[in-house]
């Protein structure tokens, strides 16, 4: 029997539906019951792509987070628009750059009356919830249920605001936030409606406090300093002026937990800058586990830095190091290891809790009806250039991890340049909601369809060839100057401004670590002109503030 074309298409479609377990309407994947897919958006605070094994296998194995990418897509060129918590969250909710959504730095209050994707999904019949770190000051709008940490949120026994009412909850923030999400999925939502759940962990934000059960992990591991740790910032005045250096600015007591009962280790953060220890909130059992772990660490630190005869190379250190005298190389190595160990312990708990959520979805027949997203509000320095924190448009903090598991969607890498302003239009398109004209991002769905590959221009259509970035929080902690810039697939142009006027240009192909600022170098005229014109084009497209 000869099949005609329609029969072939129909049979293929039926086979494909059976395989993928999901249906399509006008090319948009749907749940098995014909409803729009649910959306589960998991975002951690300050989770570097370097510490997700789907991206980098040097430090930690994160099987549960990786699973999202292994069964879906891994975005290899994923970036934020403004590398700071509140601004990043505002970009994500609105699909617009900071100047357009009004939330430019962490001192801003989010205008919750503006258009956001949760509101549009809610109007389209989705049940929406926001659980965990919110950090936008005003109360969440567009959610049927919200249960948010107060401000940055505490690691232990944190305060939440649940639909307007303050409650303190006992335990460790990452576990509690997950419990709340699972409880909402199980008992609180309307199962007749598709859902959109934003699950935002406070971890692994500073001061990287591990859960009691993870305190002893990584203790035996030594982490060599990154190649760029002793960067001299030549030709990069803004990089030289920052205050986020592990050796100079990371506090021995406040950040690295060396609160010795004898108070022999001093802290600039506590003594000079009036900071409160985050350990103040620990309950007796939590404190006992804490002291059991950090007690011997404190003793070992004292043995090698306070009780040993002074090293010939010892210098007086900064206030963050209690002005003690130490060999800078030895102290930097010690601080870096302590930082890495605590950070990785915190990630272990995140990964375990991501696993709990995936298991729940699977057990409740939701995994094949839900788009699962894993990302962070920005990247983070794991000692590159000597730093912790973020803010800069340099790769480690401009990039952010992004994994998406779309039922019936593509598996593998997506290499196009994407940004966190793209999430809102992606979710709207998935829900079949028209994308409003004023949204500045692009839907990522075409990049995730099962049959697309990176060269498939026909399906993807035109994709952007440059990204715009703008960071505004200065003067502020860490002293990173205001700057804006553009990046294409190979070059990056940045202008630092306000009390500094400095341009930087990098060739990421020959200088991926961004150590050589080639702005103004002979031979770079053409590429500078091209990047300047990309900058002007994007400023125009986004109606961005022009600074010269
Ligand atoms: C706090 C941190 C800073 C961090 C900002 C912004 N200091 O102020 O180190 O850069 O948050 O982070 S702390 O001593 O309070 O931990 S953000 O991710 O929320 O934007
Ligand atoms: Ca953050």
DSSP per-residue string spanning 438-464: T--S--SHHHHSTT--TT-HHHH-S--
**Dihedral sign of CA atoms 160, 165, 170, 176 in order:** negative
In this prediction, residue 332 carries a pLDDT of 98
Give the integer Cα–Cα distance in Å for 539 and 402. 25
Task: Using alpha carbons only, give the angle 205, 375, 146 rounded to the nearest 5 degrees.
Answer: 75
In this prediction, residue 7 carries a pLDDT of 41
- The rounded Å distance from CA 96 to ligand 2 centre is 18
Ligand whose nearest atom lies closest to the CA of 249: 1
Fold of the domain built from segment(s) 482-541: Arylsulfatase, C-terminal domain (3.30.1120)
Tens-place pLDDT, residues 287-314: 999 999 999 999 999 999 999 888 899 9
Q: Whose CA is nearest to atom 4 of ligand 1?
A: 389
* Closest ligand 1 atom to Cα of 244: 9
Going residue by residue through the chain, which has 548 residues, state the pLDDT in tens, using 9 for 90 and above. Answer: 333 444 433 333 333 333 344 566 666 788 877 779 999 999 999 999 999 999 999 999 999 999 999 999 999 999 999 999 999 999 999 999 999 999 999 999 999 999 999 999 999 999 999 999 999 999 999 999 999 999 999 999 999 999 999 999 999 999 999 999 999 999 999 999 999 999 999 999 999 999 999 999 999 999 999 999 999 999 999 999 999 999 999 999 999 999 999 999 999 999 888 888 889 889 999 999 999 999 999 999 999 999 988 889 999 999 999 999 999 999 999 999 999 999 999 999 999 999 999 999 999 999 999 999 999 999 999 999 999 999 999 999 999 999 999 999 999 999 999 999 999 999 999 999 999 999 999 999 999 987 666 666 666 668 999 999 999 999 999 999 999 999 999 999 999 999 999 999 999 999 999 999 999 999 999 999 999 999 999 999 999 998 86
With residue 180 as reference, give the H or E element that holds it: helix 173-183
478 touches ligand 1 (CB under 6 Å) = yes
Q: Say if CB 204 and CB 228 are below 8 A apart.
A: no
Nearest CA among 406, 411, 418 for reference residue 40: 406
- Structural Rg of the chain based on CA atoms: 24
How far from 297 is each of 78, 217, 301, 303, 318, CA to CA, in Å?
Answer: 37, 13, 6, 10, 21
Ligand whose nearest atom lies closest to the CA of 207: 1
* Closest ligand 1 atom to Cα of 377: 18
Q: Domain-by-domain residue ranges, the chain? A: 24-208+342-461, 218-339, 482-541
206 touches ligand 1 (CB under 6 Å) = yes
How far from 392 is each of 82, 249, 417, 520, CA to CA, in Å?
Answer: 9, 16, 18, 21
**Number of C-alpha atoms within 13 angstroms, CB side, residue 381?**
26
Q: Whose CA is nearest to atom 18 of ligand 1?
A: 85
Give the integer Cα–Cα distance in Å for 130 and 142. 9
- The rounded Å distance from CA 519 to ligand 1 centre is 31
Q: Say if CB 361 and CB 351 are below 8 A apart.
A: no
* Closest ligand 1 atom to Cα of 275: 14
Residues with beta carbon < 5 A to ion ligand 2? 45-46, 85, 377
- The rounded Å distance from CA 209 to ligand 1 centre is 14
Q: What is the DSSP string of 12-59?
A: HHHHHHHHHS-EEETTEEE-TTSSBPEEEEEEESS--GGGSTTT--SS
How far from 43 is each of 232, 289, 375, CA to CA, in Å?
Answer: 34, 28, 5
In this prediction, residue 453 carries a pLDDT of 65
User: What percent helix, strand, coil does the chain show, rounded to 5?
Assistant: 35, 15, 50
Nearest CA among 128, 139, 118 for reference residue 197: 128
Ligand whose nearest atom lies closest to the CA of 208: 1
Judged by DSSP in three states, 259 sits in coil
pTM of the prediction? 0.95
Burial class (CB in 10 A: 0-12, 13-18, 19+), 530: middle
- The rounded Å distance from CA 162 to ligand 1 centre is 23
Nearest CA among 247, 202, 511 for reference residue 388: 247
* Closest ligand 1 atom to Cα of 269: 14
The whole-angstrom distance between residue 77's C-alpha and the CA centroid of its chain comes to 14
Give the number of residues written for the chain. Answer: 548
Nearest CA among 78, 75, 97 for reference residue 395: 78
- The rounded Å distance from CA 214 to ligand 1 centre is 23
The CATH code belonging to domain 24-208+342-461 is 3.40.720.10
The sheet carrying 502-507 orders its strands as 467-471, 483-487, 491-496, 502-507
Nearest CA among 476, 489, 470, 472 for reference residue 538: 470
Nearest CA among 432, 537, 420 for reference residue 123: 432
Pocket test for ligand 1, best of 43, 205, 273 (most atoms within 8 A of CB): 205
Q: Whose CA is nearest to atom 1 of ligand 1?
A: 206
Q: Whose CA is nearest to atom 20 of ligand 1?
A: 85
The alpha carbon torsion through 414, 416, 421, 425 (nearest 10 deg) reads -70
Give the integer Cα–Cα distance in Å for 39 and 431. 9
Judged by DSSP in three states, 105 sits in coil
* Closest ligand 1 atom to Cα of 254: 14
Tens-place pLDDT, residues 448-507: 987 666 666 666 668 999 999 999 999 999 999 999 999 999 999 999 999 999 999 999
- The rounded Å distance from CA 452 to ligand 2 centre is 32
How far from 366 is each of 21, 44, 370, CA to CA, in Å?
Answer: 11, 22, 6
207 touches ligand 1 (CB under 6 Å) = yes
Judge whether 24-208+342-461 and 482-541 match in fold: no
Give the integer Cα–Cα distance in Å for 46 and 172. 18
How far from 164 is each of 110, 169, 364, 466, CA to CA, in Å?
Answer: 16, 15, 30, 41
243 touches ligand 1 (CB under 6 Å) = no
Give the integer Cα–Cα distance in Å for 86 and 60. 27
In this prediction, residue 9 carries a pLDDT of 36
Range list of β-strands (E), 133-278: 145-149, 159-162, 165-168, 195-200
Nearest CA among 346, 455, 450 for reference residue 29: 450
Give the integer Cα–Cα distance in Å for 426 and 447. 10
Nearest CA among 149, 158, 43, 38 for reference residue 90: 43
Give the integer Cα–Cα distance in Å for 365 and 460. 31
Give the integer Cα–Cα distance in Å for 392 and 238. 9
85 touches ligand 1 (CB under 6 Å) = yes
Give the integer Cα–Cα distance in Å for 94 and 121. 12
Q: Say if CB 133 and CB 161 are below 8 A apart.
A: no
Pocket test for ligand 1, best of 86, 132, 152, 377 (most atoms within 8 A of CB): 152
Give the integer Cα–Cα distance in Å for 134 and 45. 10
476 touches ligand 1 (CB under 6 Å) = no
Q: Whose CA is nearest to atom 15 of ligand 1?
A: 206
Judged by DSSP in three states, 240 sits in helix
* Closest ligand 1 atom to Cα of 388: 9
């Amino acid at each position: 029997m000869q099949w005609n074309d329609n029969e072939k298409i129909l049979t293929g479609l039926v086979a494909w539906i059976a395989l993928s377990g999901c249906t399509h309407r006008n090319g948009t994947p749907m749940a098995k019951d014909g409803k729009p897919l649910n959306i589960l958006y998991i975002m951690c605070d300050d989770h570097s792509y370097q510490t997700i094994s789907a991206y980098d296998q040097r430090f930690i194995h994160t099987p549960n987070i990786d699973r999202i990418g292994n069964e879906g897509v891994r975005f290899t060129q994923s970036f934020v628009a403004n590398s700071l918590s509140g601004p990043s969250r505002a970009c994500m909710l609105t699909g617009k750059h900071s100047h357009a959504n009004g939330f430019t730095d962490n001192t801003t209050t989010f205008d919750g009356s503006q258009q956001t994707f949760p509101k549009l999904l809610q109007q389209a019949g989705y049940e929406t919830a926001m659980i965990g770190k919110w950090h936008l000051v005003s109360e969440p709008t567009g959610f049927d249920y919200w249960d948010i940490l107060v401000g940055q949120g505490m690691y232990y026994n944190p305060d939440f605001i649940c639909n307007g009412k303050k409650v303190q909850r006992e335990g460790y923030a990452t576990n509690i936030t997950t419990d709340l999400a699972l409880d909402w999925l199980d008992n609180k939502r309307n199962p007749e409606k598709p859902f959109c759940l934003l699950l935002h962990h406070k971890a692994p934000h500073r001061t990287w406090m591990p859960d009691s059960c993870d305190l002893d992990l990584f203790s035996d591991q030594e982490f060599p300093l990154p190649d760029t740790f002793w960067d001299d910032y030549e030709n990069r005045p803004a990089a030289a002026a920052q205050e986020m250096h592990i050796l100079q600015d990371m506090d021995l007591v406040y950040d690295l937990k060396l609160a010795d009962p004898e108070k022999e280790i001093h802290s600039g953060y506590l003594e000079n800058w009036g900071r409160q220890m985050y350990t103040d909130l620990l309950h007796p059992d939590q404190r006992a586990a804490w002291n059991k772990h950090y007690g011997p660490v404190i003793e070992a630190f004292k043995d090698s830095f306070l009780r040993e005869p002074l090293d010939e190379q010892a210098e007086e250190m900064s206030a963050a190091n209690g002005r003690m005298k130490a060999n800078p190389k030895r102290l930097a190595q010690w601080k870096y290891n302590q930082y890495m160990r605590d950070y990785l312990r915190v990630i272990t708990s995140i990964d375990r809790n991501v696993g709990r959520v995936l298991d729940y979805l699977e057990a409740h027949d939701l995994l094949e009806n839900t788009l699962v997203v894993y990302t962070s509000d920005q990247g983070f320095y794991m000692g590159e250039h000597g730093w912790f924190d973020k803010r800069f448009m340099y790769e480690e903090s401009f990039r952010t991890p992004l994994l998406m598991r779309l039922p019936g969607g593509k598996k593998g890498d997506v290499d196009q340049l994407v940004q966190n302003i793209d999430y809102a239009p992606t979710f709207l398109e998935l829900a079949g909601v028209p994308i409003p004209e004023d949204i500045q991002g692009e839907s990522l769905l075409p990049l995730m369809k099962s049959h697309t590959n990176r060269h498939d221009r026909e399906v993807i259509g035109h994709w952007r060839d440059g990204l715009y970035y703008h960071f505004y929080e200065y003067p502020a902690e860490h002293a990173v100057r205001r700057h804006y810039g553009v990046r294409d697939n190979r070059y990056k142009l940045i202008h630092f401004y306000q009390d500094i006027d400095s341009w930087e240009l990098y060739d990421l192909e020959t200088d991926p670590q961004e150590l050589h600022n080639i702005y103004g170098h002979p031979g770079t005229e053409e590429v500078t002109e091209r990047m300047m014109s990309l900058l002007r084009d994007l400023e125009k497209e986004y109606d961005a503030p022009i600074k010269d």
